[in-house]
Amino acid sequence: MKTRVTEKLGIAYPIIQGGMQWVGLAELASAVSNAGGLGILTGLTQPTPEALRDEIARCRSMTGKPFGVNLTILPTVKPPPYAEYVRAIIESGVKIVETAGNSPREFIAAFKEHGITLVHKCTTVRHALSAERNGVDIVSIDGLECAGHPGEDDVGGLVLIPAAARALKIPVVASGGIADGRGMAAAFALGAEGINMGTRFCVTREAPIHDNIKQALVGASERDTALIFRTLKNTARVYSNAIAREVRSMEYRPGGCRFDEIRPLVVGTRGRAALQSGEVDGGVISAGQGVGLIDDVPTCADLIERMVADCRQRLHIASAWAEGAADVRR
């Protein structure tokens, strides 16, 4: 497949593995890249910039194909040393960076100076336009269906993707709710030139997640996610386990709740431990509504090959419908 996304990133297929906390390790990123997509290491999964340097080196030993690093910039009382992580990325020779969260404006010049291609993930057209003005190369637009933080505007991909594609001059990558070739074909029809998947790549053999978690996601329907932190204006979509349900009950009790009351339930170390131990109700587990489209645990190579074939088939069928052919089966 050839789009502006594949050309800018130097990949065979316009399929990007999203940066996911605790999950974006070398095993998964290298597998996606080796299969023709773009694997992404999650920068802040590594506890220090030096650890990130080591993980980049480890990934490079596992693939000769392009891969990137995600750097999510979030407001926090005690922010990590972002500038040091940026330096680690640059000095390690990484050529693709996915940014998310707050604007990466202060780091763009440094990345550009070293020939790094920037993909910025955002949840609104207004933020996408700002990212374009600031000099990013590709925008990944995240609809309400996505795992993690979908923003507070509640706009689904069916509207958000074409709105972004219509407004931007740079390429748009569709993110949120995509887990198969049908979704990939739909994204192209809506104006995207690539797709970003997180939840679907969590349910692959190479994902560094306990099989109990993978099987729980395989068994989930599109109704088995929950939006938490809504009352705190920091909405996150997660798998609807016991922790998520308890958080929601606290948020919506009379008088609501403060973040420090739910912090022990949602602390990141609990989520990480759950992913590693397989205790499905042990912590917060990010998952998008695309879980309803997942029914197996393939290798990344098998998943990408299947998705590309299904995407081409769906586009062919849709094209035949548009041309009035009567004999194309559904």
Do 123 and 151 lie in one domain? The reply is: yes
Provide the pLDDT for residue 96: 98
Do 192 and 246 lie in one domain? The reply is: no
Q: What is the pTM of this model?
A: 0.95
Provide the pLDDT for residue 323: 86
Residue 330 resides in a domain = no
Do 242 and 102 lie in one domain? The reply is: no
Residue 328 resides in a domain = no
133 CB-near residues (< 8 Å, 6+ apart) = none
Residue 329 resides in a domain = no
Q: Which amino acid is at 5?
A: V
Query: Nearest-5° angle of CA 302, CA 201, CA 196?
Result: 105
For residues 212-228, one letter each, b for 16 or more C-beta atoms within 10 angstroms of the residue's C-beta and e for the rest, the string is ebbebbeebeeebbbbb
Which residues form the domain of 241? 211-289
Do 64 and 193 lie in one domain? The reply is: yes
Residues of the chain falling short of pLDDT 70: 325-330
Residue 49 resides in a domain = yes
Do 232 and 163 lie in one domain? The reply is: no
Beta bridge pairs of residue 138: 119
Chain position carrying tokens 């407004």:
167
Residue 126 resides in a domain = yes
Chain position carrying tokens 């990558």:
173
Residue 327 resides in a domain = no
Provide the pLDDT for residue 243: 98
Q: Indicate the DSSP class of residue 48.
A: S
Chain position carrying tokens 């593995």:
17
Do 157 and 281 lie in one domain? The reply is: no
What are the tens digits of pLDDT across the range 182-234? Answer: 999 999 999 999 999 999 999 999 999 999 999 999 999 999 999 999 999 99
Pairing of β 172-175 and β 194-197: parallel
Q: Which amino acid is at 9?
A: L
Of 139, 212, 25, 34, the residue nearest 130 (C-alpha): 139
Do 53 and 167 lie in one domain? The reply is: yes
